[in-house]
Amino acid sequence: MSTDNLKRSWVPTADGHPDFPLENLPLGIFNEPGGSPRGSVAIGNYLLDLTATLEAGVFEGLALEAAQAASENTLNNFFALGSPVRQAFRSALLDVLSEGSRFKDVLVDAIHLQANCQMSLPARVGNYTDFYVGIHHATNVGKLFRPDNPLLPNYKYVPIGYHGRASTLNISGTDFKRPNGQTLPGNASEPIFGPCQRLDYELEIGIWVGRGNIQGEAISISEAHEHIAGLCLLNDWSARDVQTWEYQPLGPFLSKSFATTLSPWVVTAEALQPFRCAQASRDEGDPQPLAYLLDQHDQNNGGFDIELEVLLLTAQMRDTGLQPERIALSNTTHMYWTVAQMITHHTVNGCNLNPGDLLGSGTLSGPKNGQYGSMLEITKGGSEPLLLKNLEQRSFLLDGDEVIFRARCKRPGFTSIGFGECRAKVLAAQVI
């Protein structure tokens, strides 16, 4: 919303909140201690319990339909609703939460401090697909293996992806064990088994699929944007040494499937509308996308301008009371393919997507130092360790390290919104 139309909220801390002012209104699944999981909307440091809001009788029409779906213990049924229903819900929420709302008195007990609540996954994820559309990441990683030819020939024609693992999607704050696996030490001819020695993170955004499609009926590029319900932050934890040994010929397997961390709030397509942008133009000499992936409206408006931040909190930093240290700052404008192109390509063979399916963007690195979305890139494959301010060094992640992602949308004349945090800590590997 333009600042010309700036509204204020009656909810304390909402006005000027870095992540969750009135203009954001992301959805998530919460529970109070001892309570059952149900849908909510973040506002300032608080969340609005949608079940209690429904009981207060504040919604009607399309907004009522949306609120009923969003109050369930997952957002799958809410995601299945189209954009007009979501927009009606958003306008009703803006009304209900704005200063001067006639519902303030009945809703005072429906807001809870987020700090007193637990969050769970926004949806039952039937399928999770991880793409590879961060061109600088693909180039940086490719250079480590093929200095003269970092990008494979298909990259500029195909939005590359692979099918990920839905069972190990974790909500932010869920710590996980370092994976065990097979690796091939340098110069060895036989693999060894044990804890991963080159554990890494990948800075990605997650795309929550809204309405799905029927198997056999592809989603056209002109309609694909209507299937985006919202975005979150996604950390695709990666065991690089396991990956190197296992990835040929079929791609990543156990190097990726042990844990993926998601931020809890779904920032809706409607809230992100002011932060859409033109897709970055392709380099001279790059091919145009094939016709089924090319749509002028998508090229003009299909990008997102979202600032992405990576912070590291080591055990030593935690023990000595230091704050997390920022180790990268990047942006979603580094995507070579739009989200609409990812959706269309995913379905073009007849594959159906369902509401609540999740797509990962792939690692979103920038081209320069300080913009890299993985340790693999920061340390050039482990050969140039990262020196932290407290003089610790990291080639890859150690036990006790916690990785934190944050994201922010900024545009002159518009209220800035954020995503909240996506964070998790590495625990020691299981002894096998």
**Catalytic-role residue among 17, 137, 225, 346:** 137
Handedness of CA 102, 108, 109, 110 (dihedral sign): positive
Q: Which is nearer to Ca ion, 236 or 295 (CB)?
A: 236
Closest of 25, 28, 7, 146 to residue 93, by C-alpha: 25
Which residue, 86 or 198, has its beta carbon nearer to Ca ion?
198
Nearer to Ca ion, 39 or 181 (CB): 181
CB of residue 174 to Ca ion, shortest distance in Å: 18
Q: Work out which of 19, 200, 202, 421 binds Ca ion, going by CB under 5 A.
A: 202
Count of Cβ atoms closer than 10 Å to residue 207 Cβ: 25
Other C-beta atoms closer than 10 Å to the C-beta of 187 total: 5
Per-residue x/- track, 1-30, Ca ion (CB under 5 A): ------------------------------
Please count the residues of this chain forming the interface with Ca ion, following the rule CB under 5 A. Answer: 3
Scanning residues 258 to 317, which ones bind Ca ion (CB under 5 A)? none
For residue 311, give the amino acid letter.
L
Q: Which stretch binds Ca ion (CB under 5 A): 28-36, 231-239, 266-274, 339-347?
A: 231-239
* The one segment of 125-133, 162-170, 176-184, 395-403 that binds Ca ion by CB under 5 A: 125-133
Q: Does 200 bind Ca ion (CB under 5 A)?
A: no
Residues 72-101 that bind Ca ion (CB under 5 A): none
Q: Which is nearer to Ca ion, 236 or 421 (CB)?
A: 236
In the complex with Ca ion, which residue's Cβ is closer, 132 or 275?
132
Q: Is the Cβ of residue 344 or residue 361 nearer to Ca ion in the bound state?
A: 361
User: How many other CB atoms are there within 10 angstroms of residue 108's CB atom?
Assistant: 10
Min. distance of Cβ 251 from Ca ion in angstroms? 11
Where b means 16+ CB within 10 Å and e means fewer, 379-395 reads bebbeeebebeeebebb
Task: Candidates 25-33, 59-67, 199-207, 346-354: pick the segment binding Ca ion (CB under 5 A).
Answer: 199-207
Q: What's the closest the beta carbon of residue 358 comes to Ca ion, in angstroms?
A: 12
∠ CA 364-235-203 to the nearest 5 degrees? 20
Stretch that binds Ca ion, among 75-83, 120-128, 176-184, 234-242 (CB under 5 A): 234-242
C-beta of 42: minimal distance to Ca ion in Å? 26
Minimal distance, residue 362 CB to Ca ion, in Å: 5
Task: Reply yes or no: is the peptide bond before residue 191 cis, omega within 30 of 0.
Answer: no
Q: Shortest gap between Cβ of 238 and Ca ion (angstroms)?
A: 7
The reply to whether 236 sits near Ca ion by the rule CB under 5 A is yes
Take residue 37 and report the two structure tokens written for it: 């999981």
Q: Does 130 bind Ca ion (CB under 5 A)?
A: yes
Give the β-pairing of 422-427 and 176-177: parallel
Least distance (Å) from Ca ion to the CB of residue 386? 20
Nearer to Ca ion, 130 or 402 (CB): 130
How many C-beta atoms surround the C-beta of residue 66 within 10 A?
Answer: 25
Q: Verify binding: residue 377, Ca ion, rule CB under 5 A.
A: no
Which tokens hold the place of 70? 């969003």
b/e burial code for range 410-431 (CB count within 10 A of at least 16 → b) = eeeebbbbbbbbbbbbbeebee
Interface region with Ca ion, contact rule CB under 5 A, candidates 74-82, 218-226, 233-241, 244-252: 233-241
Max Cα separation, the chain?
73
Q: Among all residues, whose Cβ is closest to Ca ion? A: 236
Q: Is 17 a known active-site residue?
A: no
Dihedral of CA atoms 346, 348, 349, 353 in degrees, nearest 10, equals 50
Give 277-334 as a DSSP string: EPPPPPPTTPPPPPGGG--HHHHHH-EE--EEEEEEE-HHHHHTTPPPEEEEEEEGGG
Catalytic residues: 137
The binding site for Ca ion (CB under 5 A) comprises 130, 202, 236
